[in-house]
Amino acid sequence: MRKIYIFDTTLRDGEQSPGVNLNMQEKVEIALQLEKLGVDRMEAGFPAASPGDLAGVSAVARAVKNASVIALSRSREQDIEAAREALKDAQDPCLHLFLATSPIHRQHKLRMEKHQVLETAEAAIRYAKKYFSKIEFSPEDAGRTELDFLCEVTEMAIRAGATVVNIPDTVGYMTPYEYGNIFKTLKENVPGIEKIQLSAHCHDDLGMATANALAAILNGADQIEGTINGIGERAGNTSIEEVAMALETRQEFFQAKTTLTLSEIARTSRLVSKLTGMVVPGNKAIVGANAFAHESGIHQDGMLKEKTTYEIMSPETIGLKESKLVLGKHSGRHAFREKLVDLGYNLDDEHVNAAFAKFKDLADKKKNVTDEDIVALLEEKLIETPEVFSLETIQVSYGNQSTPTATVRIKLLDGGYLEEAAVGNGSVDAIYKAIDKATKEEVELDDYSIQSVTHGKDALGEVHVVLKQGDYAVLGRGVSTDILEASARAYVDAINRLIEKRKSPARSRDNVTLI
């Protein structure tokens, strides 16, 4: 079995998803989970983009011990210097240099002739080689680059000292046949190709990112780049979990495998979804809520007789366990603690007590508390943001023929309280206006989404909001059996994050283009 290296770019290309903006703590949290998942390499960001990006990459570089940490850089000295600074504490640093090579990019974006592209990239790789032993070079938009020129670029990159050459299908234009053929052609024609690794980096604009990555593997790719849940620019990147499970499930066909700890897939997916606020569609392969659900009678009958009739992989493989122990209001601290350990949380006494109090609260409202409920409660406050404001109470008056009115009471850090009332177009609008009045924060609600954590009338509702204030965009989360309370919690959470963000280094990338 050939080993396929996994290069995760959730924290870089994934973070380029519209509306996603992870803070340093969140990046580290995801990086540590990616380390548990066992990715070989992880791209932590683009340090030259902003001081905040640089700080985020440094924090990941310091935290991660068992994966190579990578920083993205344009083919320019000042970018390489920023990456050097960001990666100075990494155990196994790697620089990812890129320069576009396709005729469209050469003509319209770079305004460079082929020879200038070659010279610029070569100079950057040679400069970087003084500081980095591991360098990946990406000819951006390789998919739409003339094949003979791509061979020339690859040969130059090898000569200059790149250790990995990546072939990005930047705009998700390739079909599996064409994309696979690029790898075959490079393998057959480029002198020295055996000295480096070839990598595949696909985007999903036509829904072919995973198929293209697999075609690359069949044609000799050593590494697959992708993101958890397939998040990323526009339609996203190759989903790492899809590639990993395709190789696992169809081993005899691909004759290749990853060394990922597959049982960490579900947890990683959940964490990325929570921290990015990007909800995983129910029908998403591998990690969607319905990926292992069987609805039709014929399928259910088949499953009961023999699982393999309709199940090509088991939910346990990706770490989804069937819950044997469902907790309720009579469950004690001991059973609760055992459940936490079973779910993979090792909390100290203080955090167990806080979580137990939340659980008891929920068990009063909900007969059976499932694993998903407990995870949602714990992860609502996964990243501890200092709570300048915390929601005490909300009171809403609503009737379909009257104007909704909300009153909120908010606790301050010094123990004081704020209380305000407001009317709105709907109950949530009234609550948000009352919170705005109380906190005196001028924010714009950029996104609002709600989903239920489990099924049934008493299910927990989970709300995500994105608030904007000037250059800043922040995500907030709230969980409750009541969707109005969850909405209020998410909004207050976002305001607390906004206040925290104003104190941290600038993250605006508006003036940085990927040229």
Contacting residues toward Zn ion, per CB under 5 A: 13
Q: Determine the longest span between alpha carbons in the chain, in angstroms.
A: 76
Residue closer to Zn ion (CB basis): 221 or 406: 221
Token pair, residue 201, equals: 């980096």
- Out of 8, 13, 53, 241, name the contact with ligand KIV by CB under 6 A: 13
Kindly write out the interface string for residues 58-97 of this chain, putting x where it contacts ligand KIV by CB under 6 A and - elsewhere.
----------------------------------------
**Can you tell me the distance from the alpha carbon of 513 to that of 510, in angstroms, rounded to the nearest whole number?**
8
98 touching ligand KIV, by CB under 6 A: yes
**Can you tell me the distance from the alpha carbon of 243 to that of 257, in angstroms, rounded to the nearest whole number?**
10
| Shortest spacing between CB 176 and ligand KIV, in angstroms | 17
Q: If contact means CB under 5 to 8 A according to the sort of partner, which of Zn ion, ligand KIV, none does residue 269 touch?
A: none
| Shortest spacing between CB 74 and ligand KIV, in angstroms | 9
Task: Enumerate the β-bridge partners of residue 349.
Answer: none
CA distance to 217, 401, 430, 434, 446, per residue, from 404 (Å): 57, 9, 6, 12, 21
Place of tokens 């001081």: 51
Token pair, residue 233, equals: 């620019």
Kindly write out the interface string for residues 454-493 of this chain, putting x where it contacts ligand KIV by CB under 6 A and - elsewhere.
----------------------------------------
End-to-end CA distance of the chain: 38
226 touching ligand KIV, by CB under 6 A: no
DSSP string, 404-439: -EEEEEEEETTS-EEEEEEE-SSHHHHHHHHHHHHH
What H or E segment, with its residue span, contains residue 489? helix 483-503
CB distance 248 to 313 below 8 Å: yes
Kindly write out the interface string for residues 182-221 of this chain, putting x where it contacts ligand KIV by CB under 6 A and - elsewhere.
-------------------x-x------------------
140 touching ligand KIV, by CB under 6 A: yes
| Shortest spacing between CB 198 and Zn ion, in angstroms | 16
Q: If contact means CB under 5 to 8 A according to the sort of partner, which of Zn ion, ligand KIV, none does residue 101 touch?
A: none
**Can you tell me the distance from the alpha carbon of 462 to that of 473, in angstroms, rounded to the nearest whole number?**
20
| Shortest spacing between CB 24 and ligand KIV, in angstroms | 22
Report the candidate in 437, 417, 435, 441 with the shortest Cα–Cα distance to residue 490: 435
Residue closer to Zn ion (CB basis): 13 or 204: 13
- Out of 170, 227, 276, 427, name the contact with ligand KIV by CB under 6 A: 170
Residue closer to ligand KIV (CB basis): 7 or 432: 7
**Can you tell me the distance from the alpha carbon of 40 to that of 54, in angstroms, rounded to the nearest whole number?**
21
- Strands (E) in 75-112, as ranges, are 93-100
Q: If contact means CB under 5 to 8 A according to the sort of partner, which of Zn ion, ligand KIV, none does residue 239 touch?
A: none
Token pair, residue 499, equals: 């206040």
| Shortest spacing between CB 137 and ligand KIV, in angstroms | 10
Residues that bind ligand KIV (CB under 6 A): 13, 98, 138, 140, 168, 170, 201, 203
